[in-house]
Amino acid sequence: MSDIDQNTPADLREETAEAAPEVASNDRVAELENQLAEAKQNVLYAQAEIQNVRRRAEKEAQDARAYAATAFARDVLSVADNLSRGLSAIPADLRADDKMKGLVTGLEATGRELESVFQRHGITKIAAEGQMLDPNKHQAMLEVPSDQPAGTIVQEMQAGYMIKDRLLRPAMVGVAKAG
């Protein structure tokens, strides 16, 4: 074999490039074009990543604003429960008594104001009685013999609440027993 047969195309190109500077110039241009294309691609990826980070940050900030009061709201629910239990424990004869009427009216007004505050902050009561059990919103505490279809909620022991579209507290319920 001769030296010419052993040359690779790259070697041959280098030898030719030495003799013809325009080939070397074309090679350099091609290399720079490849680097430019790669740089453009990297810039596009970086811009896409920045946009994704910005979207995630905006969503997290929006969620933080919407659900910041979740722990506080959960704590206030026990106050609402106690107020409701207190109001329901007042017998009818005491409600009619002129001495107690002002107290009962004040407690009822406090309950309505608390419900109004809940509404303003996106806290809503979960419908329970008469509904089918939804494990995403209801927590079955017991099964009760009933003429209702199995899985129907027939008793609510504690009201459940949502804050916007998230569960704040499940409703504790009794469901109709099968058969």
**pLDDT mean values, one per 10 residues, the chain (179 residues):** 58 64 76 94 96 95 83 90 90 86 90 93 91 93 90 92 92 88
CA separation for the pair 115, 77 (Å, rounded): 10
Q: What is the pLDDT of residue 174?
A: 94
Question: 169: exposed, middle or buried (C-beta count within 10 Å: 0-12, 13-18, 19+)?
Answer: buried
Rounded to an integer, what distance in angstroms lies between the CA atom of residue 57 and that of residue 49? Answer: 12
**Cα 116 from Cα 5, distance rounded (Å):** 92
Which pTM value belongs to this model?
Answer: 0.64
3-state secondary structure of 146: coil
Q: Could you give the count of Cα atoms lying within 13 Å of 103 in the half-sphere of its Cβ?
A: 11
Judge contact between 172 and 158, C-beta under 8 A.
Answer: yes
pLDDT score, position 177:
87
Tell me, what's the pLDDT at 5? Answer: 54
Task: Report pLDDT for 1.
Answer: 47
- Cα–Cα distance for residue pair 73/67, rounded to 1 Å: 10
| pLDDT (0 to 100) of residue 132 | 92
- Residue 24 CA to residue 96 CA, distance in Å, equals 105
